[in-house]
Structure 1
Amino acid sequence: MTPDFWIERWQKGETAFHQAEGNDLLPKHWPALKLAAGSPVFVPLCGKSIDMAWLAGAGHRVIGAELSPLAVAEFFREQGVVAETRRVGAFEVHSAGPITIWCGDIFALPADATADVAAAYDRAALVAMPPTLQGAYAKAMRALLPAAPILLISLAYPQEQIAGPPFSTPLSQVTALFGATHDINIRETRDGLEKSPNLKARGVSRLDEAVFVLRPKGS
């Protein structure tokens, strides 16, 4: 799965993963991180997620990372703001108010982009990665956020029923990726199939949506 795959998905409007109303699990579980007011937060593979606006409204400075220039442009347009743009290495960095999005390959994101981040919110990044890339993604997140917790929303379903993305990423996979470096707390698991009509239409018969808090050990 190459970067062109995701760029093409956005160009074709094949973005069923986008949640126009945001994810209701974010406001429910974000307080568990107990962040100080104004803390900067990171949203990997952010797309045009309305969850970034919620985080900004909760008083955070938001740093997103997104591969698709179209997704970035649509986010700021839909928020009704004009972003300032600057070039930083291989990235176009778009900023408006408390929200900054680094447009480019997350695996090349410079460490100083997340240097002061207090936490991360991952709803659709890990599950967007095939298993062959999830290890590299977890390694990148550990490098970018060595001391910051992650609120992770994951999906688990019978992987043989459809070809991802999203990819089934159950507790066992989350533990394999982060268990050596993070304490893993499962906050909620629920039936997510009714909220995922696209996956249901594709043939998924069961979908567990789980919320994890991953805290670096010793932090």
Structure 2
Amino acid sequence: MEPDFWLKKWQKKDIGFHLGDANPMLVAHFKELALPKDSRVFVPLCGKTLDIAWLLSQGFRVAGAELSEIAIRQLFEELGVEPAISEIGDLILYSAEGIDIFVGDIFDLTPGILGPVDAIYDRAALVALPQEMRPRYTAHLREITKTAPQFLISFDYDQSVMDGPPFCVKEEEIRRHYGEAYELTLVDSLEVAGGLKGQCPATENVWLLKP
């Protein structure tokens, strides 16, 4: 899947994946990570998700990575915050108090550029990537965050009925990517109301990954 796929979605405002509220699974279960206030949470492929506003409202700091600069301009507009904008290598950093969003290719993000991370919130990154890209992504995520604990949301459905994104990422694949580095716990599992995109039955799963 080429970067242009996502860039064109933002340009065309084809963003049905953008939720109008903070993710209910996040609100219900993020406390399971038992993070102290002021912890820094990394949100890969974040878009302009309202989950960021929720995390900030809970006293966390947020770092994010996103391909589309359109999304991040809208994010800061909707937060009502004026960002400082700078260039770091091939990335553009949008920054304000408590929030740093790196715009560009997530694979250009290094541990030194990202800085310390206390936890990862992956709602829309792993499931947005096709199968052939996921091993590279998961290895890179572990590297740049130094295997920080994760709050991971995945989908399980019959991908022969509907192709992604979001893609089906089954438990065995999650364990294949992360099992050597993390202890995995399935915290919650819910049927997607009305089916995924209204097309097929699906289950939304919440995983805690602790080193």
- Tell me whether the two structures share a fold, i.e. TM-score over 0.5: yes
Matched pairs, number: 211
Alignment of 1:3-42 (within 5 A): 3-42=3-42
Does the Cα contact within 8 Å between 2:147 and 2:181 map onto a contact in 1?
no
CA RMSD, 1 decimal: 1.2
Counterpart for residue 125 of structure 2: 125
SS at 1:160 equivalent: coil
* Residue 189 of structure 2 is aligned to residue 194 of structure 1: no
* Separation (CA, whole Å) in 2 of partners of 1:152 and 1:39: 17
* Residue 130 of structure 2 is aligned to residue 95 of structure 1: no
* Separation (CA, whole Å) in 1 of partners of 2:177 and 2:117: 21
Counterpart for residue 78 of structure 2: 78
Alignment of 1:65-214 (within 5 A): 65-194=65-194, 196=196, 199-200=197-198, 203-204=199-200, 206-214=201-209
* Separation (CA, whole Å) in 2 of partners of 1:195 and 1:118: 34
Q: 1:83 and 1:115, CA in 2 relative to 1: closer, same or farther beyond 3 A? A: closer
The aligned amino acid for 2:156 is: A
* Separation (CA, whole Å) in 2 of partners of 1:160 and 1:94: 39
* Separation (CA, whole Å) in 2 of partners of 1:139 and 1:117: 16
SS at 2:120 equivalent: strand
State the 1:195 CA deviation. Answer: 7.5
The aligned amino acid for 2:21 is: E
* Separation (CA, whole Å) in 1 of partners of 2:23 and 2:113: 25
Q: 1:137 and 1:147, CA in 2 relative to 1: closer, same or farther beyond 3 A? A: closer
State the 1:183 CA deviation. Answer: 0.8
Unpaired runs of 5+ residues, structure 2, are none
Q: 1:158 and 1:102, CA in 2 relative to 1: closer, same or farther beyond 3 A? A: same
Does the Cα contact within 8 Å between 2:127 and 2:155 map onto a contact in 1?
yes
State the 1:99 CA deviation. Answer: 1.3
State the 1:93 CA deviation. Answer: 0.2
Between the aligned residues of both structures, percent identity stands at 38
Does the Cα contact within 8 Å between 1:155 and 1:170 map onto a contact in 2?
yes
Unpaired runs of 5+ residues, structure 1, are none
The aligned amino acid for 2:63 is: I
After superposition, give the CA deviation of every residue in 1:175-207 in whole Å (9 maximum; x if it has no partner): 1111122111000001013375xx11xx22x11
* Separation (CA, whole Å) in 1 of partners of 2:39 and 2:80: 24
State the 1:146 CA deviation. Answer: 2.1
State the 1:115 CA deviation. Answer: 3.0
